[in-house]
Amino acid sequence: MLKHRLAGLALVALAAAPAHARAQGDDPAALIAAQRAAMAPLSFMDGVWRGPAWTILASGARHDITQTERIGPFLGGSVKVVEGRGYDPDGTVTFNAFGTISFNPATRVYTLHSYAQGREGDFVLTPTGDGYVWEIPAGPMTIPYTAVIKDGAWREVGDRIMPGREPVRFFEMNLRRVGDTDWPAAGAVSAH
């Protein structure tokens, strides 16, 4: 019964998909290969990272933390998985975020799907020659995050931009790559 329901849901989803997506979806191997190829240039992100970071709180006070990131490929390298943690000096986790970075071959767009601080969203991520940019639209304000990752260093800044005003920097992290990780692929449940 469950098998028939799942098959029925799959057929409904397929029928609801746009025609161009269905045409490309006829060959899952080709789609996965296109995703894997698009994600390969972002492999410089993979690993474990740690370093100082700060943000400006709603009160206007600066909050300094130790930021960590662990990033690895998943689903055969077709998706990138990201976890960020911010630690106060006493070791308390005061920031925790989880995300995925993916590529849609039909639209040729990279997407960061993020969960952080009780919020979630999908944001366009644009790779650059040595990093990436992603942006949160917030009414008349935009919040771009710009990252440069090279030579084992990752610097990312966040700015609030209001029309007609100078950008206001509210976030910065400066991380060093501290090692490899087999996360998230390691520890999969085996068939036996």
pLDDT for position 149? 96
**Within the chain, which residues score under 50 in pLDDT?**
1-17, 19-24
pLDDT for position 23? 47
Neighbours of 92 (CB within 10 A): 9
pLDDT for position 188? 84
pLDDT for position 9? 37
User: What counts of helices (H) and strands (E) characterise the chain?
Assistant: 3, 10
CATH number, domain with residue 156: 2.40.128.20
Strand, coil or helix: 160 = strand
192 lies in a domain? no
Cβ atoms of residues 62 and 54 within 8 Å: yes
The answer to whether the peptide bond before residue 163 is cis (omega within 30 degrees of 0) is no
57 lies in a domain? yes
pLDDT for position 143? 96
pLDDT for position 187? 82
78 lies in a domain? yes
pLDDT for position 113? 98
pLDDT for position 49? 98
Q: Which residues span the domain enclosing 108?
A: 2-179
pLDDT for position 26? 75
pLDDT for position 5? 41
Phi, then psi, of 46 in degrees rounded to 5: -60, 140
Work out how many domains the chain is built from and give that number: 1
25 lies in a domain? yes
pLDDT for position 190? 85
187 lies in a domain? no
Q: pTM, whole model, 2 decimals?
A: 0.84
137 lies in a domain? yes
